[in-house]
Amino acid sequence: MNQPRPTGRRRPRQSDIARLAGVSQATVSLVLRGTPAGMALAKRTRQSVLDAAEELGYVPDPVATRLASATNAMLGLYTFSATFPTDVAHSYYPILVGVEEEAAAQGQDLILFTGSARTAGRADDPAAVRRVRVADGCLFFGRHVPEEPVRRLAEDGFPFVYIGRRDEPGVPYVGADYVSASAEVVARLAALGHRTLRYLREHDQAPASSDREEGVLRGAREAGLDTADLVVRTDGRDLDTRLRDWRAAGVTAVVVEQTDTGAALDGLGAAVDAAGLRCPEDLSLALLGAPTGTRGTAPGGGADFGGFVVPMRAMGRDAVRLLLRLIGGDRSEPTRRLLPCEPVEGGTLAPAPSPTHHPRKD
Amino acid sequence: MNQPRPTGRRRPRQSDIARLAGVSQATVSLVLRGTPAGMALAKRTRQSVLDAAEELGYVPDPVATRLASATNAMLGLYTFSATFPTDVAHSYYPILVGVEEEAAAQGQDLILFTGSARTAGRADDPAAVRRVRVADGCLFFGRHVPEEPVRRLAEDGFPFVYIGRRDEPGVPYVGADYVSASAEVVARLAALGHRTLRYLREHDQAPASSDREEGVLRGAREAGLDTADLVVRTDGRDLDTRLRDWRAAGVTAVVVEQTDTGAALDGLGAAVDAAGLRCPEDLSLALLGAPTGTRGTAPGGGADFGGFVVPMRAMGRDAVRLLLRLIGGDRSEPTRRLLPCEPVEGGTLAPAPSPTHHPRKD
DNA sequence: TCAAGGGTCTAATACGTATTAGCGAAACAC
DNA sequence: GTGTTTCGCTAATACGTATTAGACCCTTGA
């Protein structure tokens, strides 16, 4: 399968340099790597090797370098996002921007493992995941991460960092503090006079969803709100009738999580439109965790969503820094970090309409 | 530098399978690769190899595969953009989206060579460019591409494709038809009654700039407009006084190119604001080549820029397809392609104000 | 003169897979 | 029974670099 080079001249390797400089390949390697052993060589030898390398335009082959078990200054980024790569612009790119910025700043190239995932048919195919070994280390991102293949990587000592909090003990991650941020949003709604809320989350069990739910519940309890029917699971397609019931029950605000599919949010928007409700006059809407810069607008109007914003870019940057620490063998704590989310004012948050105000029970 | 595996169990290789199945490593390779030679082996042998591989959870090492076979299902993307990676969101990401989509669809992973560029200090460092060889082929993108290192790649038969038209004969590219699109914009302005225009381009010699200028000139000639002082070179910081002069000379519309720095456009916006001019009432503005989805708005108001839009995403996709053709050894023509740009209506284009109408001279 | 010690460098090997030439055995033809 | 072909597999090598044990030479000291 070794294709012949059409135009003859093969790219130079260390043995070419060795021949030109009259030394051995091993010497070339020592000199070029600049190791202590290499520096100990005679000045003349060093120089002639460097000259020869320069003359031939030598550049080390990263693949061979990597095979010989050094590092190759490449970081991987593997995404498990459900909708990826179709809805590629959403939720993935803010992360990518941060990752890329920091990687570039640190002199690391970036491998996007999007093709492997596709080839295997499923992104969680163990074989596909194993492919990340080309890189020195890898970032994982996505709500649903297959544990088995990643666990095997961990067993082999392969460095990786999750972007997003993980429940598995010991795995390094850089996440966002959804709990605090979600609680804060509910507190804000309560301060605006909302006493009866609903929180919409999707069906899956991703930590990002659980954390938001936890935060919403905590915020509700701390504000003395009723938490009985607070949490609602939805796939986004069943909201029309529900929304009507909620209104009848005195609900004045709905909190919804932002996911990679956006199912809950889209469904809610459609339901609000269908019901002919205006936001925020009839109903306040809060969005938990839009990616920075993509806040989106509320149904039926140009109002920006209030809620909080996930510091995707910062997470990307931090994750790269942590990964490089791990690659460098630095196992000192902490290897887990939660970044604060930024609260966002928005036109979708307004004081609760007084007519439907329900007095607190306790 | 061989790091010991912390938890003992080394990941299985072909030789492990070979031992378990009682065959040679070569046989394992043949069977697993599924080559004709591999299929020709005895059924029993094949099966025992496959069973052993399954039992051990074998996954081929992509690094070794690449070193031995010269392909690894990875495409490179190397960017020469001046502002990269600071202004990373601009002009680079629409391309990246297209590239990534198509790469994923074709089962290819993507290597972003942003770190090498940084490490070397300059993106056009020959050593940095040479690094793209890890990939099976590479896409180049950016206004200012260093010819020398790329020429060496070409000599070595390394497959690559430019995103953006190139003057060098023979090099493959996927570009945009700036000439036609620019001419069309001028024709539109002429149809709106504008007789005296200025075209702002930056100082550099990138093909993207030359093509737009050529198109503007062609459009002007075809519409019978004066081309004498039409083309203006600027770095964006000298436009305040010039703008005043142009107004005095009866200029009713300014056409400006969009570049990766946006210098000309930004400068024009500032000058228009400083002069207290309103767009499009006092002056029409046309923008040649905003990236899709990032049309931007005119100075002093919310009006969208009229002009044309560069099909960045489509270019990215096409470039990947072409690159894969080249990697596959398909040297049949064509290896150069120009995609049409989409004309864009916009609030910045309006009929020329009649009071300052200057009759044609000829 | 011999041993010891340092300074330079190289031979050998490892990394994990792909590929090719060809070996031994069996089947076939005469 | 001797050539010839085919079949099924393996030994050997290549890919390009990193690493280590130690070879070789030159000093130095006894």
- Residue B8 CA, nucleotide D14 C1', distance (Å): 30
- Please indicate, yes or no, whether residues A333 and A301 belong to a single structural domain of this protein: no
Whether A157 and A233 map to the same domain: the answer is no
For residue B121, the chain A residue with the least C-alpha distance is A107
Q: Kindly state whether residue A276 falls inside one of the protein's structural domains.
A: yes
Are residues B232 and B153 both part of a single domain? Answer: no
- The per-residue pLDDT for A357 is 45
Give the C-alpha separation, A55 to A48, whole Å.
10
The reported pLDDT for the residue numbered B79 is 84
Inside any domain, residue A349: no
pLDDT on residue B72: 76
Return d(Cα B283, Cα B279) in angstroms, integer.
5
Task: List residues with CB under 7 Å of strand D.
Answer: A 2, 10-11, 13-15, 25-26, 29-30, 32-33, 35, 37, 58, 60-61, 64-65, 67-70; B 1-2, 22-27, 30, 37, 40-42, 44-46, 64, 67-68
Phi and psi at residue A343, in whole multiples of 5°? -65, 145
Strand C and B14 CB separated by under 7 Å: yes
| CB spacing of B110 vs A105 below 8 angstroms | no
Amino acid at A142: G
Interval A19-35: pLDDT, tens: 999 999 999 999 998 88
In a domain, A1, yes or no: no
Find the CB nearest A101 among B64, B72, B88. B88
Residues A250 and A321 placed together within one structural domain of the fold: no
Task: Find out whether B195 and B163 touch, Cβ atoms under 8 Å.
Answer: no
Q: And the tokens for B45?
A: 């042998």
Residue A108 to residue B115, Cβ atoms within 8 A: yes
Ranges of residues in chain B whose predicted pLDDT is under 50: 1-8, 82-88, 120, 293, 295, 356-362
Residue A119 falls within a domain, yes or no?
A: yes
| Residue showing tokens 């997470």 | A315
Tell which phi-psi region holds residue A307, choosing left (phi > 0), alpha (psi between -120 and 50) or beta: left
Q: Which of A343, A306, A327, A339 is nearest to A72 (CA)?
A: A327
Q: Are residues B192 and B267 in the same domain?
A: yes
Residue A5 lies in a domain: no
A184 or B82, higher pLDDT: A184
The verdict on B149 and B217 lying in the same domain is no
Token pair, residue B227, equals 């081309």
Per DSSP, the residues of A305-362 read PEEEEE-HHHHHHHHHHHHHHHHTT--PSP-EEEEPPEEE--TT--PPPSTT------
The answer to whether residue A193 scores a pLDDT higher than 70 is yes
Domain, as residue range, for A304: 178-310
**Does residue A296 fall inside a structural domain?**
yes
CB < 8 Å to A11, chain B:
130, 133, 156
Residue A352 lies in a domain: no
Question: Do B115 and A131 count as a contact with CB atoms less than 8 A apart?
Answer: no
Separation of alpha carbons A159 and A171, rounded Å? 10
pLDDT at residue B219 in the model = 96
Report the C-alpha gap between A249 and A340 in whole angstroms.
34
Task: For residue B304, count other CB atoms closer than 10 A to its CB.
Answer: 18
A38-44's contacts with Cβ under 8 Å and 24+ in sequence apart are: none
The CATH number of residue B96's host domain is 3.40.50.2300
Q: Is the CB of residue A292 less than 8 Å from the CB of residue A309? A: yes
Question: How many domains in chain B?
Answer: 3
Q: Is the CB of A127 under 7 A from strand C?
A: no
Do B134 and B255 belong to one domain?
no
- The DSSP 8-state label assigned to residue A109 in this structure reads E
Q: What's the pLDDT score for residue A1?
A: 41
Q: A30-64, pLDDT tens digit by residue?
A: 999 888 888 888 889 999 999 998 888 888 887 88
- Whether residue A106 is found in the same domain as residue A133: yes
Q: Is the CB of B281 under 7 A from strand C?
A: no
Question: What b-and-e string marks burial along A330-362, b requiring 16 or more CB atoms within 10 Å of the CB?
Answer: eeeeebbbbbebeebebbbbbebeeeeeeeeee
Neighbours of B281 (CB within 10 A): 10
Strand D bases near protein CB (under 7 Å) are 7-12, 14-20
- Please check whether residues B87 and B170 belong to one and the same domain: yes
